[in-house]
Structure 1
Amino acid sequence: MNETTNDGSNKKKGVSKGIIAITIIAVLAIGGAVAAFMLNNLSLKESYFLAEKKSTDFMIDKVEERYEPELDWYEHSKENATESKVDLSGEYNVPSTEAAYGGVDPSQIINNSNLTITAATDMENKQISTDIAASIGGIEVNDVNLSFTNEKLMLSLPFVEEVIQLKDADLGPLLYELDPVSFTGEETLELDSIFEGNGGLSEEDREYFKEEYGKMIYDQLPEDAFTTEDETVEVNGESINAEKISMQLTEKQVKEILTAVFDKMEKDDKLKDLIRKQAGLQLGGTAAVDPEIDQLLSDFETGIAEAKDGLADLQIPNGFNSTIWVENDLIVQRDLAIEMGPSAEELVTFSVKGGQLLKDTTQFFDYDFGLTESGNESVVNIAGNLTWEDNKASDKISLTADEFTLAYDGTETLTDGTRDFERIFTFEESATSGSLNWNGSATYNKDQMSSENSFSIESPDISQDMFALHANVEGKTIDKVEMPAEDNVKDLGEMGAQGTMEYFELEVVPSFQEWLFTKLAGSGNF
């Protein structure tokens, strides 16, 4: 039995860095995406990916177990009409002799201001209504409402009697009428995307990729690429008798798998439609005609074609090597590496090396992600130690790259449905450092919730008690969303571009100016 220890030029034409990047992404799919494909018979290949899947599922289960009340409320809010009220206020504690400017003490304004946002949502019926109220230095602002469905947006303002309405389908023609050079007439507000899970992959999409790509890659992997032996490894100070499973693919085998993946991606209309849809959600406009989206899709197709053509010249001298050490079906250590490039002198090496211990009450991980090019090595370390026992949590996570470190340090206690917490996000680099501190409590009780949150920042020049933002949240279940009455509506689409401009210039702006003057005069700040 062996024992190892886990310690935490000119390019050849036709193979660009972009192609290598695409190839690396596809290669990593060989080591990871297949894990979603469910396995039953335990050959070495199956044992390898079953360990990947069970390790991922273990962490997901632990997160869901710890934050079950929050996740239950989230699911409840997706299936029922709910109302959430957020009260925001600031705290400014700099002495007036230091901060006063022009005779105005900022603390008098900040400490006497607040913003209240009350949002009623019904995701199933595609309705959202948001009331906004504010008090800013003695000036009260009320009766602001922004509501929308998947078909239209409505805005109510305190200085306008009617509800301003814009239908999703009318935005494009309105913009085209204003500027036919810059707009196509097909633009929309993409209101549907608000009710579609923030543009994430649907369960149907995930199942498609699992079956069409995960299964295909899995079937392409030769059984004789996997070997095993028993080996003792040391992870986080613990000696573990593990099963070492190695996957070693030759250059030829890697290229064959990549060719199959690229061939499928090149002809996969569903994949292209998904890219088009996701880009449309990010960029706005209608995905079918937006020039930016068309260019993005064209670049994708060109990149795949170039990657396929570049495979012939691409060198992968040591193939693709991935080794995992497994105990009780869970990965405790891994070592992955691939080296590739257009020539022996221009090889780029990507590696992942580290270990993890996944237990019921503690989860430890420590991984180095390395990239070596032209003799220059860059390493990003991600490490963490998570503890959840007797409804108490203590978590530490860090990301370190060169002289930069981003860290999280959190503690939590859960008592009778109330979670008290303190969470500190810290960044450090050679020239500066600072932290964002978030503390408070949250209570979730089936169909209602409440939370109190305080945020402050700290740095060498700023003490933690100088500035603070307070956010109090209350959520409850409601029967339905009360949408604005539609008996007095100004429809911008029906008015057209000219009518809309005249309406704002002759009615909205003068009404706003009169309203603002009245507010300022009444507050004594004018």
Structure 2
Amino acid sequence: MGESTNGNQKKGVSKGIIALIVGVIVLAGGSAAAFMILSNSPKASYFLAEKNTIDYMVEQMENRYEPELDWYEKTQTDKTASTVELTAAYNDPAASTGGYGLDPSMFINNSSIIFDAQTDMENRQIYTDLKATIGGMEIDDIQLYLTEEKLMLGLPFLEEVIQMNDEDLGPLLHEADPDMFTGDEKLGLETIFESAEGVLPEEDIEYLEKEYLKFIYDELPEDAFTSSDESIDVNGESINSEKIEFKLSEEQSKDLITTVLDKMENDDRLKEILVDQMTAQQFGSNIYMDEDIDLLMSDFETAVADAKQGLDEFKIPDGLTSTVWIHEDKIVQRDIAMEMGPNEEELAALSVKGTQLLTDTNQFFNYDMTFSDAYSEGSMNISGDLNWEDNQATDSISLSLEDIVLSYEGSETLEDGNRDFERTFTLQEPTSGGGSLLWSGNATYDNDIMNSENNLSVETPDFGQDMFSLTIVTDGKMIDSVETISDENVKEIGGMSPSEIQAYIEMDVTPKFQQWLFGLMAGGGIGF
């Protein structure tokens, strides 16, 4: 590892890695609890309360949005078709008084986009067809078909269908630039289908839970947890709670962090998971992957090594303290405090304090977070009051950061699979004056059919909500099979050389596109 170019600068510990590990220690009980031997110890109660709280919130959201989640599950396991139509309305009286005869509403109000999609996620097939009317111009037959092995594109101005096979990308790129590409690059089409399965594969989640969350839980000393009874006030209610304080000294915190870093440093499986996630974020493409993987592993190993090396001098003067108050097996109040830094003069402090009360009909929470270091300080508040009773909802959430406030207000009703809703997202910001996004509509879920209509508009001090609106209408249903694009006339560009592709685009595609576009303009009815 290279030395710093600044001779006076000491190689320090990565505060990011330390903060990450501390955060896992404090909050990872939701998963670690699954590995615990049942006991009545304060340590077990602490982490079980974390698990119960998370599980309860997830359960409430699943109950509230059961129709939507059921439909989403069908789209991942069955063959489905969805038609999405986008239209807009523009109404600005001042726009038509410019004297040039150009009124944007004539263009916007006579335009629409229709997107047909058919998916079979289990058999790895996606077919889409795009149609549009833009100011009177009709555009049809833009088609796309995907599998794990190939991509096919049909365009209205070409007789042939353009095809690129997954296996052809690498050799094509290598021929174009052998110094930059290895020839093993892929389109990574499989990641489009895998993304629906979750951020991490189930086996990776199980590995991380067992090897790290359970490991950290087992390493935490029982005597770091103390329990007492305490009555507290939450959202105007007096609550009898069990107070559990979890406290690690500076030495205990460093010992635990060192143990985790040792494990991470020699964990080849963890490194594989990092590489897999990097690949997924690039949609599976291996372009630049050799260099990127080497850099990623080098950065990871350097960060871990630097963290271990600098940990002796790293300061956590008051150790780590996390206190929770538990009522009916769920957390109703929380207080987390930690202070850390490379030395006494550069300590950064983080505090999280707040209350929450979760019931079947109401989920209330109110948390303050503060941060300070030698150079700056800041605070944030997040609060919410979610009400769901008799299939009716009234919700409010607010996120305040200094003088900026982002808030949400919503109301919903659900009856016989039909949801009606009105939702408003508001930004209060002193410089621009802020504004609101208004979202209203309805959605119906009836076994193998769904329909929805969403209306969106924006309101600011200079822009009324009636001036512009966007409407999205969706119709979905189950189907027997996914359409494909005919392969009778296919141009496989992956089998062509870079110079052949360039010639094809310049001599064939571009002239036909220009001719097609001029024909649209001539007969489109928008003044050309």
Letter in 1 for 2:26: G
Aligned pairs (5 A) from 1:105-120: 105-120=103-118
Task: Tell me the distance in 2 between the aligned counterparts of 1:179 and 1:287.
Answer: 12
Contact kept, 8 Å, 1:165 with 1:491, in 2: the verdict is yes
Does the CA contact (< 8 Å) of 2:181 and 2:287 recur in 1?
no
Q: Could you tell me how far 1:352 is from its partner in structure 2?
A: 1.0
In the TM superposition, residue 323 of structure 1 has moved relative to its aligned partner by 0.4
The alignment status of 1:26 with 2:21, answered yes or no, reads: yes
Contact 1:99 1:106 in 2 (8 A): no
Contact 1:69 1:446 in 2 (8 A): no
Note if contact 2:180-2:288 (Cα within 8 Å) is conserved in structure 1: no
Asked if the contact 2:225–2:247 (Cα under 8 Å) also holds between the matched residues in 1, the reply is: yes
Deviations 1:70-97 (A, max 9, x none): 0001111111110010000111001155
Post-superposition CA distance 1:316-340 (Å, at most 9, x none): 1111101000011010001011111
List alignment gaps of at least 5 residues for structure 1. Answer: 1-10
Aligned length: 515
**Distance of 1:377 and 1:516 partners within structure 2:** 56
For structure 2, the residue ranges without an aligned partner over 5 or more in a row are: 1-7
Matched, 1:15 2:12: yes
Secondary structure of 2:158's aligned partner: coil
Identify the residue that residue 326 of structure 2 maps to in structure 1.
326
Output the aligned Cα RMSD. 1.8
- Residue 273 of structure 1: aligned partner: 272
Instruction: Return the offset for 1:184.
Output: 3.8
Alpha-carbon distance in 2 for matches of 1:49, 1:223: 12
Alignment of 1:55-134 (within 5 A): 55-95=53-93, 97=95, 100=98, 102-134=100-132
Listed one character per residue, the Cα deviations across residues 372-401 of structure 1 (whole Å, up to 9, x for unaligned) are 112743112111110110000111111111
Question: How far apart in 2 are the matches of 1:42 and 1:28?
Answer: 24
Q: Which amino acid aligns with 1:46?
A: A
Cross-structure match for 1:458:
459
Per-residue displacement from partner, 1:128-159 (whole Å, max 9, x unpaired)? 00000000111100011011111111000111
Q: Partner letter of residue 237 of structure 1?
A: G
1:151/1:169 contact within 8 Å kept:
yes
Contact kept in structure 2, 1:146 and 1:155, CA below 8 Å: yes
Q: Which stretch shows the higher mean deviation, 459-468 or 270-279?
A: 270-279
The share of aligned pairs that are identical, in percent, is 51
1:271 shift after superposition: 1.4
Query: Secondary structure, in 3 states, of the residue corresponding to 1:209?
Result: helix
Match of 2:374 in 1: 374
Read off the aligned partner of 2:147 and give its amino acid letter: T
Displacement after TM superposition at 1:99 (Å): 6.6
- Equivalent AA in structure 2 for residue 461 of structure 1: D
Distance, in Å, in 2 between the alignment partners of 1:252 and 1:77 is: 51
CA distance in 2, matches of 1:216, 1:205: 15
> Equivalent residue for 2:296?
296
Secondary structure of the equivalent of 2:246?
A: strand
Maintained 8 Å contact 2:29/2:48: no
Partner of 2:5: none
Note the C-alpha offset of 1:100.
4.9
CA 1:316–1:160 in structure 2 vs 1: closer, same or farther (change >3 Å)?
same
**SS of the counterpart of 2:421?**
strand
Tell me the equivalent position of 2:521.
520
- 1:300-449 to 2 correspondence within 5 Å? 300-374=300-374, 376-432=376-432, 433-449=434-450
Residue equivalent to 1:179? 177
1-side partners of 2:45 and 2:69: how far apart?
Answer: 31
1:180-219 superposed Cα distances (whole Å, 9 cap, x missing partner): 4544433322111000025611221111111110110000
* Greater shift in the superposed pair: 176-185 or 241-250: 176-185
In 2, the alpha carbon distance for the partners of 1:340 and 1:429 equals: 32
1:246 aligns with 2:245: yes
> If the length of structure 1 is used for normalisation, what is the TM-score?
0.94
> Counterpart amino acid of 1:76?
K
Do 2:96 and 2:103's aligned partners in 1 also have CA atoms closer than 8 Å?
A: no
Counterparts of 2:98 and 2:272, CA distance in 1: 56
The answer to whether the Cα contact below 8 Å between 1:12 and 1:343 also exists between their aligned partners in 2 is no
